[in-house]
């Protein structure tokens, strides 16, 4: 079996669902269920003996030791993280606690477990750390895309905490020999995405008749990766990646934020037109830029293609259509996660 951390969050839950849809190998799923972790994401697995959910913290060393010894996974896939730049600006300490301290405690527990395995099991074991392209900093408009050897230049408390976790993973490999793999991905989108990030937030606001908030001039460029493509890349790296190596995962889809929202609006115009016949793009509203907003990220995923034969299956156009369709078909899920403290935070962040 495998152990997944953060498997009730956006990317983690998609990974667990995709994993169990493609194979019968059981999953132990450890998640603290903070605001972005949602067991409703995993409702289709209720009663499935292949999925064991454990409510707990990656910083709980005793829990980690017990889970590893009782379940004896052949691999650990580490998704658990605080992941929203805006929240890291308002409260950086939580990001240090989860992304840095939590990752170190997980690595230490995994190291001790791995060192006690017999020769065959130890050589087959893998620790796969899921990270972000934001650790590389910001790119000029015409600069080459990030490769795995690009220097780390994090510019937000979030990206700094993820950079620290990447360095810890590297250190545990080089110091202790732990068989690690690291993936650095671009912006994910797709089903079960908590609506604080750009795409799900704008879908939600568009359908509610609310403004679609765009930071600054909307020309910040990101590479966009459909979440199922990301999941397939992780499975491929776990299967055949070289230990100690980093693999960038991207969608080959560089787009400005404003263009992303315009495409989203056009898709909504087609699939669920406004009652008044007006275009959803009329709701686009520009708001003050956030502090230190990186101008451009771009991923060169060529290493992953050359060495492991992986490429994304979705274009941005096919992926965004699937995403909009999913949110239209799952209005109850959206309503359940957009209540209470979430609304307070959105008002605080975009109210001005």
**Which residues are identified as catalytic?**
133-134, 158
What is the DSSP code string of 100-120? Answer: IIIHHHHHHHHHHHHHTS-HH
**Gyration radius of the chain's alpha carbons:** 20
Q: Sheet holding 221-226: strands in order across? A: 187-189, 221-226, 254-256
How many angstroms separate the CA atoms of 335 and 92, rounded? 28
Number of separate helices (H) and strands (E) present in the chain:
14, 12
How many angstroms separate the CA atoms of 166 and 233, rounded? 18
Which residues 6+ apart lie within 8 Å of 239 measured at CB?
A: none
Count how many residues are written for the chain: 352
Give the SS3 label for residue 218. Answer: coil
* Cβ pair 44, 18 in contact under 8 A: no
Which residues 6+ apart lie within 8 Å of 294 measured at CB?
A: 134, 137, 138, 155, 156, 220
């Amino acid at each position: 079996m495998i152990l997944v951390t953060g498997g009730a969050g956006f990317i983690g839950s998609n990974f667990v669902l995709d994993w169990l849809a493609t194979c019968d190998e059981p999953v132990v799923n450890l998640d603290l269920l903070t605001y972005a972790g949602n067991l409703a994401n995993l409702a289709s697995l209720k009663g499935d003996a292949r999925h064991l959910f454990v409510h707990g913290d990656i910083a709980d060393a005793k829990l980690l030791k017990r889970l590893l010894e009782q379940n004896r996974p052949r691999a650990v896939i580490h998704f658990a993280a605080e992941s929203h730049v805006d929240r890291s600006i308002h409260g950086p300490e939580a990001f240090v606690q989860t992304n840095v301290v939590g990752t170190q405690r997980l690595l230490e527990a995994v190291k001790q477990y791995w060192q006690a395995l017999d020769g065959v099991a130890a050589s087959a074991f893998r620790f796969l750390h899921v990270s972000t392209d934001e650790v590389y900093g910001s790119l000029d408009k015409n600069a080459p895309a990030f490769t795995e050897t690009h220097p780390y230049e994090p510019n937000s408390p979030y990206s700094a905490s993820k950079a620290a976790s990447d360095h810890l993973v590297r250190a545990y490999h080089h110091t202790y020999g732990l068989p690690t793999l690291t993936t650095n991905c671009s912006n994910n989108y797709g089903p079960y995405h908590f609506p604080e990030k750009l795409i799900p937030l704008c879908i939600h606001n568009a359908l509610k008749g609310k403004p679609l908030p765009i930071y600054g001039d909307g020309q910040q460029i990101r590479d966009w990766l459909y979440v199922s493509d990301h999941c397939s890349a992780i499975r491929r790296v776990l299967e055949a990646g070289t230990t100690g190596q980093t693999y960038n995962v991207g969608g080959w889809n560089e787009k400005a934020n404003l263009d992303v929202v315009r495409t989203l609006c056009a898709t909504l115009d087609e699939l669920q037109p406004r009652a008044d016949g007006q275009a959803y793009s009329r709701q686009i509203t520009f708001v003050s830029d956030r502090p230190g907003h990186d101008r451009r990220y771009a991923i060169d995923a060529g290493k992953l293609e050359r060495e492991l034969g992986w490429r994304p299956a979705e274009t941005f156009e096919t992926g965004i259509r699937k995403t909009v369709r999913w949110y239209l078909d799952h209005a109850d899920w959206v309503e359940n996660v957009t209540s209470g403290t979430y609304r307070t935070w959105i008002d605080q962040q975009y109210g001005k």
